Amino acid sequence: MKNKSFKKTPGERIFTGLNYFFVILLCLTIILPFLNIFSLAFNNGVDAQRGGIYFWPRDFSLENFKEVFAQSHIVSGFYISIFRTVVGTVLSVFLTAMAAFVLKSKTLPGRKVITFFVFFTMLFSGGIIPYYMVLKELALTNTIWVYILPSLYSVWNIIIMRTFFQAIPDSIEDAARIDGCGEFNIFLKIVLPMSTPVIAAVGLFNAVAHWNDWFSGVFYVRDKALKPLSTLLQEMLTQQDSLKELLLQSSSAQYELLNQIQVTGDSMKMATIIIVVTPIIVIYPFLQKHFAKGVNIGAVKE
């Protein structure tokens, strides 16, 4: 007996059409601004000042990127950003997972009290000045570790991981304990391999936060050789805007200098966005596939 094809009602067809329309509209709101940034980044700076560039460069040029990389300490800023992103993300994910594993244990003495004090830190902050004083007393200011150590733990990430770990059947851990497996080995060899989705998600959150953070480099580091890429680019753009404003207020005899800055003015800003965003765009597809995986793949049934 042949299966009859399901025929949608007019209301269902309208609903499906509206869904497609809004999804396409949402995609366009994301893609079109990025195409505009791309076109301005690869367009000649002087030509970009004329306007009329939307989704494709009119006068293709790499001068904006050359200008960015010609700035001092940009290469060292890359190394600093890569180091803090890789080391900070690995340490933060591992230590956060350990904390979440302990807090989800029902046999932990005083678990509710410890959990309360951990979560209590989400509600209040001491402020920037006390925070800076603590970092200075710990000798972390003006060092590369000021980017990593203070951000090792995130209470929100602990909550996410703890909730994820709680979904793992207790029978798996009990079976491992019967076989003589210790708590750390259970965490390392059983819980972590089964928690790829949440590890990938939290790892991506940490990596993006480290890579895009410019605030720490501005307020906690004085040595320019220790400043990350985001901070250097932010300072570069701030200086350029200040110089442009100064020339606009100066005499007409100096107006020609303004054109030299406009060569890589707004277009250079777009080039910096491309430089900062590209690594995240490249890494994300490799982590995305883990988000939808179930936590109990290969687990025993309750």
pTM tops 0.95: no
DSSP secondary structure string for all residues of 23-58: HHHHHHHHHHHHHHHHHHHTB-HHHHTT----SS-S
CA distance 238 to 217: 14
Integer Cα distance of 240 and 261 in angstroms = 8
Query: pLDDT confidence of 143, banded at 50, 70, 90?
Result: very high
Per-residue pLDDT tens for 77-113?
A: 888 999 999 999 999 999 999 999 998 888 888 888 8
Which has the closest alpha carbon to 160: 92, 87, 91, 82? 92
Angle (CA) 160 162 165, round 5°:
110
**194-218 residue pLDDT tens:** 888 888 888 888 988 899 888 888 8
Average pLDDT over residues 105-134: 84
Among 17-26, 54-63, 147-156, the range scoring the smallest mean pLDDT is 54-63
Contact 160, 202 (CB under 8 A): yes
User: Of the ranges 4-8, 151-155, 259-263, which is most confident?
Assistant: 151-155
- Identify the CATH class of 67-291: mainly alpha
- pLDDT band, residue 243 (cuts 50/70/90): low
pLDDT band at 302 (very low <50, low <70, confident <90, very high): very low
Read off the pLDDT band of 290 (50, 70, 90).
Answer: low
Domain map of the chain by residue range? 67-291
